[in-house]
Amino acid sequence: MNRINFKDKKLLPVWDKIQKGKRLSLADGLVLFHSSDLISIGKMAGFVHQRLSGDAVYFALNQKIEPSNICALACRFCNFSARKGEPQAYEMNIEEILGRIKPDVREVHITGSLNPHRKWEYYLGMVGRIKQRFPQTDIKAFTAIEIDFFHKQFKLPVKEILKQLKAAGVDALPGGGAEVFSERVRKKLFPKKIGASAWLQIHAAAHRLGIPTNATMLYGHIETYEERLRHLIMLRDAQDKTGGFLAFVPLAFQPGTTGIKPSNQFGSAIDDLKTIAVSRLMLDNFPHIKAYWVMLTEDVAAAALNFGADDLDGTVGGERIAHDAGAITPPALAKDRLIKIIKDAGKIPVERDALYHPLDIYADNVIGKIPYLNSVLFYNYFEKERFKLLPIVPRRMGILSLKGKIAAGLFSLMDYLAQEDTLELMDYCIAARNQVKSVMLFSSKKWPDLAGKDIGITDDTATSVHLLRVLLEKKYGIKANLVRMQGTARNDGDFAAVLLIGDEAMRCKKYGLAGFEQVFDLATEWYHWQRLPFVFAVWAERKALSPNDKKDIHEKIRQTLAKEKRAPSPLSTLHGQRIGLTPRETKTYLDGFTFRLGKPEMKAIEIFRKIVADL
Quick: pLDDT tens for 538-565. Answer: 999 999 999 999 999 998 899 888 888 8
Residue 72 and residue 590: Cα distance in Å, rounded?
Answer: 56
* 322 vs 597: which has the higher pLDDT: 597
Q: Into how many domains does the chain fold?
A: 2
Same domain membership, residue 371 and residue 356: no
Residue range(s) defining the domain that contains residue 334: 9-360
Burial class (CB in 10 A: 0-12, 13-18, 19+), 400: buried
* Long-range contacts of residues 289-294, Cβ cutoff 8 Å, at least 24 apart: 289/49, 289/247, 289/248, 289/250, 290/214, 290/247, 290/248, 290/249, 290/250, 292/249, 292/250, 292/251, 292/252, 293/329, 293/333, 294/319, 294/322, 294/323, 294/327, 294/329
* 523 vs 487: which has the higher pLDDT: 523
Same domain membership, residue 166 and residue 86: yes
Q: Are 180 and 234 in contact (CB under 8 A)?
A: no
Whether 106 shows a pLDDT value over 60: the answer reads: yes
| Mean pLDDT value of segment 513-528 | 94
Same domain membership, residue 419 and residue 288: no
Question: What is the pLDDT at residue 318?
Answer: 44
Same domain membership, residue 421 and residue 343: no
| Mean pLDDT value of segment 561-587 | 87
| Mean pLDDT value of segment 573-587 | 90
Residues for the chain: how many in total? 615
For the chain, the average pLDDT equals: 89
Domain C-terminal end among 318, 337, 360: 360
321 confidence band (pLDDT: 50, 70, 90): very low
Same domain membership, residue 386 and residue 492: yes
109 confidence band (pLDDT: 50, 70, 90): very high
Q: Is 225 within the bounds of a domain? A: yes
385 confidence band (pLDDT: 50, 70, 90): low
Same domain membership, residue 73 and residue 106: yes
Same domain membership, residue 382 and residue 260: no
Same domain membership, residue 176 and residue 154: yes
324 confidence band (pLDDT: 50, 70, 90): very low
Q: Are 396 and 501 in contact (CB under 8 A)?
A: no
Q: What is the pLDDT of residues 18-37, one digit of tens each?
A: 999 899 999 999 999 999 99
| Mean pLDDT value of segment 241-249 | 94
For the chain, percent of residues with pLDDT exceeding 70: 91
CB-based contacts of 493: which residues, under 8 Å, 6+ apart? Answer: none
| Mean pLDDT value of segment 314-320 | 60
Read off the CATH number of the domain in which 54 is found.
3.20.20.70
Question: What is the pLDDT at residue 277?
Answer: 98
Q: What is the value of pTM for the model shown?
A: 0.89
Q: Is 1 within the bounds of a domain? A: no
Whether 426 shows a pLDDT value over 80: the answer reads: yes
Same domain membership, residue 336 and residue 447: no
Same domain membership, residue 384 and residue 337: no
Residue 46 and residue 3: Cα distance in Å, rounded?
Answer: 12
Q: Is 427 within the bounds of a domain? A: yes
Domain C-terminal end among 311, 343, 360: 360
| Mean pLDDT value of segment 262-275 | 79
Q: Is 505 within the bounds of a domain? A: yes
Question: What is the pLDDT at residue 332?
Answer: 52
Domain C-terminal end among 301, 334, 360: 360
Question: What is the pLDDT at residue 613?
Answer: 93
Same domain membership, residue 26 and residue 138: yes
Q: Is 4 within the bounds of a domain? A: no
Q: Is 2 within the bounds of a domain? A: no
Same domain membership, residue 447 and residue 475: yes
81 confidence band (pLDDT: 50, 70, 90): low
Q: Is 501 within the bounds of a domain? A: yes
Question: What is the pLDDT at residue 82?
Answer: 63
Question: What is the pLDDT at residue 580?
Answer: 87
Closest CA to 321 of 313, 331, 312: 331
Question: What is the pLDDT at residue 313?
Answer: 87
The region, left, alpha or beta by phi > 0 then psi within -120 to 50, assigned to residue 564 is alpha
Most trustworthy range by pLDDT among 110-114, 137-141, 378-382: 137-141
Q: Is 249 within the bounds of a domain? A: yes
Q: What is the pLDDT of residues 178-228, one digit of tens each?
A: 999 999 999 988 888 889 999 999 999 999 998 999 999 999 989 999 999
Read off the CATH number of the domain in which 370 is found.
3.40.190.10
Whether 490 shows a pLDDT value over 60: the answer reads: no
Burial class (CB in 10 A: 0-12, 13-18, 19+), 522: buried
